[in-house]
Every structure is written in C-alpha cells, then in structure tokens.
Chain A
Amino acid sequence: MTMTDRPTRETPLVTTSQPEDFFQLLKPRVMSLVVFTAVTGLVVAPGHPNPLLAAIAVLCIAVGAGAAGALNMALEGETDALMRRTRGRPVAAGRVRKNDAMAFGVILSIFSVMLLGMTTNWLAGGLLALTIIYYAGFYTLLLKRRTPQNIVIGGAAGALPPVIGWAAVTGQAPWQAWLLFLIIFLWTPPHSWALALYSAGDYAKAGIPMMPVARGAKSTRLQILIYSLIFVPVAIAPAFLGLGGVVYLAVSVAGGLFFLALAFRLWRSRAGDQPDKAEAVGREAALYDVRAEAKPARNLFAFSILYLMALFSALLVEQLPGLGA
C-alpha cells in the first residue's frame, strides 16, 4: 500500500473521497429538475418509444446533466468556497480533488452522450453534448464572470432537456419542443435573480457580476418584472397552440397570475437594497432565511420552482388517458 508521487498543499496526494461525494458532484437537486423536464419532453412528443429505451434515455440525460454539474464544480471550486450557498460542495470543501472531479465529469459526459446516441438517435446525443459543452465550457468558463447577462444566456443549457427528450422519441426538434425550451429559458432570469437579490453579497465577494451586483437591486427588480411579463404569456401559450389542454390552461393562468403578483410585489419592495441577513449578523444562513425586506425575493424564488414544476406536471397529467389536450 505505497505510492510514489509528490504531494502539494492544494491537492492532497491521497484522497479520502467517498462515493457519496462524487454523487454530490452531480448536483442531484438540479438533476431532478432536468429529469422532470426531459421526461415531459419525452412523454409529450408524438410517438411510442420502447419503455426500456426511454428509461435509459432519461438516465443518460440525467447523467449528462450531472456530468456538466461535476465539470462546473471542478472549474468553480475556489469561487464556490467563497459563497455560503456553495461552500459545502465537494470540491469547494476539499472532499474531492479538482482533477478527480474533472475526470469524473469528462468520463460521465462521454459515456452519457455515446449511450444516448446509441439508444435513441444522434440528434438527441448531439443536443446532450451541446448542453454539457454550453454549460461547462461556455457558461462556466466564459459567461459567468464577464457579463451580468450570464444566467440569461447560460440559461439555455438548463432549458434544453425537454428538447433532448423530444428528440429522443421523434429524432426531430420541432417548434413545440422549442416552446418548452422557451418556457424554461424565460423562467430562468426571474428565478435566478430573485435568489441573487438576497445573496448579492456572496456573489460580490466571489467576483461574479450577477445582476444585483453589477446593476444594483432596483434595476434587477425591474428586470425581474419585465422578464415575468414576457415569461407568463409564453408559459400559457402551449394551451392555445395544441400542446396543452384545459388542465394546463388552468394551471398556467392561475399560477401565472400569482407569479406576476409576486414579481410586482418584488418590484415595489426594497429587496436587495440592504446586505443580506447572514452578512449582517455574520453567521451561516439557510437559503430561505432572509431579512424581512428580502422576503418578496425569497417568495418569488420559491414559487418560481413550484410554478415550473406545476406547468410540466400539467403537461404530463394531460397525457394520461382521458385527459388529452
């Protein structure tokens, strides 16, 4: 049990990383949303895929998304260590070495793309590869530190899974698939900026020009409202374009109005004007533990997740016999 090498201070020679640490590299919470939206694309698409192959396709999409997360954590370890929300991540906390995370991400990327291509078709495989490269390469390495529009442009990576699911079934990516893409793409800015409004101190410390850091809280609140006004009609659109039915219409309209009400309240509030609670009191704070002024931002952040899940759930429910669009 001996090894020869030269240890460095940053990268310990021998690691005690556990398999669970590597699982955490896959960002399981993000992965669950990716799986959900990809399954929706897969189910809503016309066609009857072999259930076994469909399950393997979903697994490939999940692993591919996880691989992108692992590459992101490998590249962002030092930055993650500066922020409360991310300092517990395996690379940031020193439980997994950067190179190990990188190798893990690359290997999983290759395996997931190849297997998806073999299982379904190479359009789906190519879109998964594009998603990984876009997120890990384009967003993490180039966009994130250069522009306050980082999450607007980078949001495309998170919006692609339903298109991949659709392509896996049909071998094509028609406008209906891109409409699902557009819903997630337009949902991302209000969702991410609402979170950033009460974590701006962290982003500033890490040197990431998130909108509240670069343009200030007031401008961010306005932009959240503008994006929400664009997002909600697009979220309702599938009900009028043959993709969603009555259930979808009810969910998208009711949820959309509430979403707009929260965005309006946030615009009228002073969320983000003051340093967030954890900074103010100098202790660790939970994701939802914010000062009173920032509560409208927290509420929109929390509801945005619920609304997106509800929209895609409605599309799924309508595929059940007797509830078709």
Chain B
Amino acid sequence: MTRPNFITLTDEQVRARKRRNVAIALGLVGFIVLVFIVTVVNLQRNTEARKAAEAAAVGTVLRADPALPAPAAAPAEGAAVAEPAQ
C-alpha cells in the first residue's frame, strides 16, 4: 500500500493559517452582526409604517360611514403617508 504524498507544514505556515482563520472568523461574525442590525432596524421601520397605515385606514373608515358621528380628531397630517417599506 502506498502512502499518500503528505507534507508537513512549517511553523510559519501554521501561524499564517491560524491568523487567516481568525480573520475569517472575525469577518463572518461581523457579517452576522451587520445582518442582525439591518434586520432589527428594518423590522422596526416596517412595524412603525404598518401602525401608521392602520391608523390612517381606521380614520378613513370612520369618516366614510355617515351613520357614525364625525371623528373627534382627524389623524395628524402626514400620518397616512407611511414611509414605504424597503
């Protein structure tokens, strides 16, 4: 049985590999953190936009029904204009 053509890494090669591995690990962790931040911020913005849209829709229904008294206070100017979700 022939043995595969193994090579032994020098200390310098091992050190370089270790440093590269650490850099890759840091890069991946950084990427995960960035994706997490983006997700949280976008979720927050979309939730706020949805709330604003719902509030505007309720105001519209109340105004459109003649059987109901006029709403005490109309929604604030611009509340219906929710920032579009990204």
Which residues on A are within 8 Å of B, measured CB to CB?
1-4, 6-7, 13-19, 22, 50, 52-53, 56, 59, 111, 115, 118-121
- Among A14, A15, A18, A121, the residue within 8 A (CB) of B86 is A121
On whether the beta carbons of B16 and A4 are closer than 8 Å, the reply is no
Contacts of B23 in A (CB 8 A): 19, 22
- B8:A6 contact, CB within 8 angstroms: no
Judging by beta carbons under 8 Å apart, are A115 and B31 in contact?
yes
Interchain residue pairs with CB less than 8 A apart (16): A2-B7, A2-B9, A3-B6, A6-B5, A7-B7, A14-B7, A15-B13, A16-B13, A18-B16, A22-B23, A50-B45, A56-B37, A115-B35, A118-B35, A120-B86, A121-B86
CB distance from B29 to the nearest CB of A (A): 13
Asked if B20 CB lies within 8 Å of chain A CBs, one says: yes
- Mask for B1-44, Cβ within 8 A of A = 1, else 0? 00011111100111010011011000000010011011001100
Name the CB-closest residue of B to A4.
B4
Assembled-state Cα–Cα distance A111/B38 (Å): 14
Q: How far is the CB of A6 from chain B (nearest CB, A)?
A: 7
Secondary structure dominating the interface of B: helix
| Given the contacts A18-B19, A50-B45, A115-B31, A4 and B38 also touching, CB distance less than 8 Å | no
The answer for the CA separation of A59 and B45 in the assembled complex, in Å, is: 21
How many Å from the CB of A104 to the closest CB on chain B? 10
Q: How large is the interface on B (under 10, 10 to 19, 20 to 34, 35 or more residues)?
A: 20 to 34
Q: Which residues of B contact A (CB under 8 A)?
A: 4-9, 12-14, 16, 19-20, 22-23, 31, 34-35, 37-38, 41-42, 45, 86
The complex places the Cα of A159 from the Cα of B41 at a distance, in Å, of 30
Q: Across the interface, do A1 and B35 meet the contact criterion of CB distance under 8 Å?
A: no
Q: In the docked arrangement, what's the CA distance between A14 and B19, Å?
A: 14
For the complex, give the distance between the alpha carbons of A110 and B1 in Å.
44
Q: Which of A15, A17, A115 contacts B34 (CB 8 A)?
A: A115
Cα-based distance from A56 to B8 in the complex (angstroms): 42
CA distance in complex: A56, B39 (Å): 12
CA distance A120 to B38 in the complex (A): 9
Contact yes or no, B13 A14, CB < 8 A = yes
